[in-house]
Amino acid sequence: MTVGPEREDMAASRTGVLIVRVRIEEGSALPLRAHVRLTDDITSGVERSVTLTGADAVCEVVREWLGEMLAEHDGG
């Protein structure tokens, strides 16, 4: 992980958090269980929480969240 000069601006800018907690459910046809908690503004606390099965679904939620963070930064 690289930390650049933008870190100095974190206090003044919006900061989001995304947490992925994963477990394997033995004996299941879809054993991956991922609980995703996220917010695009940590001052608001956790805004969304979802439980997913499958890596593709988790990746899609992460991709969408990153897109939302970028859109807000770009004024969208």
pLDDT tens track of the chain, all 76 residues?
455 555 555 545 779 999 999 999 999 999 999 999 999 888 888 899 999 999 999 999 999 999 999 987 776 5
Contact predicate 19/36, CB 8 Å: yes
Spatial contact of 52 and 60, defined as CB atoms under 8 Å apart: no
Residue type, 73: H
